Amino acid sequence: MIVKKREIPLRILIDEALLRRLPLNHPKRTEITQDLLIRRAGFKGEQDMDYYLSLLDDSEFYILQNIRLPLGNNHFQIDFLLLSITFILLIENKNMPGYIEFDADFNQVIRRNNGKTEIYDDPVLQVKRQLIQLAHWLKLNHFTIPPLEFLVTYSNQGSILQNPTKNEEIYKRVCKGGAAVMKIEEFKNRNTKEIFSQKDIKRLVKFLIKSHEPEGSHLNKFSLSSADFVLGVACPSCSRLYMERISGSWHCANCGTSSSDAHVQTIMDYFLIGNPSITNKQLRLLLKLPSDKTASRLLLNTKLPFSGTTKNRVYFPK
Ligand SMILES: [Zn+2]
């Protein structure tokens, strides 16, 4: 059963907010768009993988989707963590169409797609690193270390996997999404000794969920400043910042869409692009509102946490 669901990564929300807020000719747009496409593909691939894992016997595994755990000064992240009473399985998923060739001698993956050749790090090595980190994490937190299995899955139907050096480990540890269930059967047959009692495994699952720390902001990476951003309310249909407040609702001067709550996304964007809080005055500038009464009402309706008295109130993201 799924005991921890993945959340939409903050970094996807930030990229989307940046693209709504940066002028169309801003030089950083290409880099941010590229970053967003990669992150969205990864997220979509994991969602596709959910289907294949739903074919497993629901009572046998506790499934944690996208778990990120602290270890020393760092974190490690696992796409899928499956726990049973006899073993733990780590799955690293890739969403990559094209010819995927494993070069086990040099720990690299060569991908050929649409006439383009790209080199990637070996995902087997990547998931092995996660395995070592998980073992370390279990030990530090005084849990028994059960047999740890790992798998690299390619959830995209258009991935054509190739293993030209006929490397044994690649055959054993890499598969298409649809073959994962069969691989997991093999792991089950290999690991039959009960390591955890039901009570132990529940305690471990609970502790894993409690220890999860979602990935934070990556705004620094793009070195943007508030001067880069455009003010105004973003249209929910065309994303342009052309919405005007006319008799109590928002109207887009570009595409004609009306909205009663378009300002909510705009306030979210304001926080996502790095502002820790907002005041009435800042909101009026952001939404291009002439009246501070309207600004106050809109802020109250968003039910954001705040501090300070009516006049000097500062609002924070939820
Ligand atoms: Zn519009």
**Run means of pLDDT, 10 residues per run, the chain, 318 residues:** 95 95 95 97 97 94 98 96 98 97 94 96 96 98 97 97 96 97 97 97 98 92 90 92 91 95 94 94 92 88 89 88
* pLDDT value of residue 291: 85
Residue 244 Cα to ligand 1 middle (Å): 11
* pLDDT value of residue 292: 84
Which residues neighbour ligand 1 (ion) by CB within 5 Å? 235, 237-238, 252, 254-255, 257
* Residue 76 neighbours by CB under 8 Å, 6+ apart: 68, 69, 129, 130, 133, 134, 137
Residue 113 β-bridge partners: 116
* pLDDT value of residue 239: 87
Residue 238 Cα to ligand 1 middle (Å): 4
Residue 314 Cα to ligand 1 middle (Å): 30
E strand or H helix at 20? helix 10-21
Residue 236 Cα to ligand 1 middle (Å): 7
Residue 17 Cα to ligand 1 middle (Å): 16
Residue 217 Cα to ligand 1 middle (Å): 28
Residue 243 Cα to ligand 1 middle (Å): 7
* pLDDT value of residue 13: 96
Instruction: Give the sign of the dihedral formed by CA 35, CA 38, CA 39, CA 44.
Output: positive
* pLDDT value of residue 249: 93
* pLDDT value of residue 290: 85
Residue 75 Cα to ligand 1 middle (Å): 41
Task: Note whether 77 and 127 are within 8 A (CB).
Answer: no
- DSSP-H helix ranges across 78-197: 123-140, 168-173, 180-190
Output phi, psi for 10, to 5 deg: -50, -35
E strand or H helix at 201? helix 198-211
Residue 194 Cα to ligand 1 middle (Å): 59
* pLDDT value of residue 242: 85
Residue 248 Cα to ligand 1 middle (Å): 17
